[in-house]
Amino acid sequence: MRFHRKRIFSIALGVMVSGMGAAFAYHNFSHGDHRVPTKFIHELDQNGTELVVRAYRIPFDLHSDSRISFTGSVQPRYQTPVGFRVAGKIAQRHVELGDCVKQGDLLFTLDPTDYDLNLRVAESDLISARSTLTQAAAEEKRLAQLRNSGAVSLSEYDLSLAARDVAQARLDSAMKRLELAKNQREYCELRADFDGLITAIQGESGQVVNIGQTVVQLMQGKELEAVISIPENRLAMVRDLKPTISFWSNPNASVAAKLREVSPIADPISRTYDAKFTFLDDASHLSIGMTATVHLVAPNQSEIPIPVSAVANNLDETVVWRIDENRGSVQAIPVEVVQMRNETVMVRGPLQPGDLLVSAGVQRIDEKVSVRVWNSN
């Protein structure tokens, strides 16, 4: 019996000691000093380090009651159809789709056999015309001397003078034909008139082409634009609303744009008008043919609701921090606070649907900080 009592007492003592240890650990965990270890402090500093932040994305369907969208594609602003200046059979193609070419680079070559023959004929005609002129000039000179002595009549001398003039004209014509034959021989080589990108190929080796028939499409420069089709009952709206563009390949990104032109002639099949929008932001990440959606928003809908925690002060100026998702950098965007609500604030400024804003920890942000989005809503 005594043994059992001792055993029960030992177990109870052990439980009590364990409970006191757990209570002590809980007290230290709940009320202790939780400062970040020194080795991690540099990760939270400003000016050039990366911070993990929460973010808020301005919804694309903002002001949906005054917003319409049209889907089109990304196209080059300057695109030239290129063809030969002479007709013939394509002997060789020297470029591939997507090649970048420089001014003067060889694109296509025609079979030059017929044009070489024309060049030889023109050279022979020139030699003949030059010999005829030499003979006619010598004859006119002899008759001029005889005319002074009265050995020949005036009519005979006039005939020799006319023959010399005709020979001179034929020589001039032969020289022009030779120059034309040389040009046509050079036109058998199709070369780039400017630096550009091959966007389409419509000619192949062995194909017979006419003068001016397109064999290649060449994009001039790097400027791209979004092209959409607009029904006639929306033409006025397109000119009045403010455009932003999103892309199917990256729906979370948007690009500011402006209307460049609207076609004055409707497509004969779809009865729609082509509208072209120039990108105002960097479009280097885009490719020709990408699906682009143009969102048109009424310009008077300028007040945007954002979380109160996204508003900050920077050099005595009210700003929000917009995140560049490609580089992880931030930019201070000045805004005007229009109205305060419970958890949101109405602001007015150069913000666009789809912009990603820092929504928590704005007091730790400056333009030298790199950020990584932990969560966005």
Domain map of the chain by residue range?
A: 40-62+301-376, 65-77+223-297, 79-111+188-221, 113-179
Q: What's the pLDDT at 1?
A: 46
Other Cβ atoms within 10 Å of 226 Cβ, number: 28
Q: What is the pLDDT of residue 8?
A: 53
What is the pLDDT at residue 59?
78
Burial zone of 275 (CB within 10 Å; 0-12 exposed, 13-18 middle, 19+ buried): buried
Query: Among candidates 68, 66, 70, which has minimal Cα distance to 303?
Result: 66
Residues pairing with 312 in the sheet: 319
Instruction: Quote the pLDDT of residue 86.
Output: 94
Residue 225 token pair: 């634009």
**What architecture does CATH give domain 113-179?**
Orthogonal Bundle (1.10)
CA 176 from centre of chain: 45
pLDDT at position 121 is 93
- pLDDT at position 10, please? 52
Is the Cβ–Cβ distance between 275 and 230 less than 8 Å? yes
- Among left, alpha and beta (phi > 0; psi -120 to 50; other), residue 312 is beta
Q: What is the DSSP string of 261-301?
A: EE-SS--TTT-EEEEEEEE-S--TT--TT-EEEEEEE-TT-
Give every CB contact of residue 93 below 8 A, 6+ residues apart in sequence.
107, 108, 201, 203, 204, 205
What's the CA dihedral at 273, 278, 281, 282 to 10 degrees? 110
Which tokens in the block code for residue 155? 């009519």
State in words which class domain 40-62+301-376 has: mainly beta
User: What's the length of the chain?
Assistant: 377
Cβ-contact 207, 169 below 8 angstroms: no
pLDDT of residue 61: 62
Return the structure tokens found at 182.
Answer: 């040389």
* Domain 79-111+188-221 falls under CATH 3.20.10.10: no
How far, rounded to the nearest angstrom, does the alpha carbon of residue 274 sit from its chain's CA centroid?
18
- SS3 for 214? strand
CATH 3.40.470.10 fits 65-77+223-297, yes or no: no
Question: Which parts of the chain have pLDDT scores under 50?
Answer: 1-4, 6, 9, 13, 15, 17, 19-47, 65
